Amino acid sequence: MLKHSESLITAYIGVGSNLSNPIKQVTLAIKALKTLTDSQVTAVSSIYGSKPMGPQDQPDYVNAVVELQTSLTPLALLDALQTLENKAGRVRKENRWGARILDLDMLLFGEQVINNERLTIPHYGIKSREFVLLPLHEIALNLCLPDGDSIAELANNISQNGLQKFSAEIL
């Protein structure tokens, strides 16, 4: 639960899964995000289905984007996200774009630009991934990236690559 006196940052989290009932995994992850310390979920996109980015010999993905108000630092939030992934049974492999039970990506953390060994903000794939841009645009119509690029403009110009909306808001 948040205290009103805390300074809050708006973060956006990409949620994805393509193993072990992916819709259930994404739904459980969103519920888990609602329990994060010093944070509050303020918006959740629809759930979308997408083709895998990497090897095509894996199941399709289920994706959503969550808006979170938090007083956590970027690295504390990253640690919390990785803890949730581990609790869901995620195993980190060398195959970066392989199948996974749960993937939680910090897409944006306020207006911050971060580039260190653990974290890159904005997320390096934010401008090129329809399964990120379209759900993000759904919950943040007027959002701009730290470089000034409009999420609306990026979303309107990206190929949908077969992206399918599965359900309305969960929140």
Catalytically active residues are 90, 100, 103, 105
CA 154/CA 127 separation, integer angstroms? 7
* Pairing mode, strands 47-50 and 39-44: unpaired
CA 150/CA 1 separation, integer angstroms? 31
Strand ranges inside 9-84, DSSP E: 9-17, 39-44, 47-50, 61-70
Indicate the length of the chain as a whole number. Answer: 171
Q: Count Cα atoms within 13 angstroms, Cβ side, for 164.
A: 9
Selection from 133, 139, 138 nearest residue 155 by Cα: 133
Report the DSSP beta bridge partners of residue 69: 10, 40
Residue 109, helix vs strand vs coil = strand
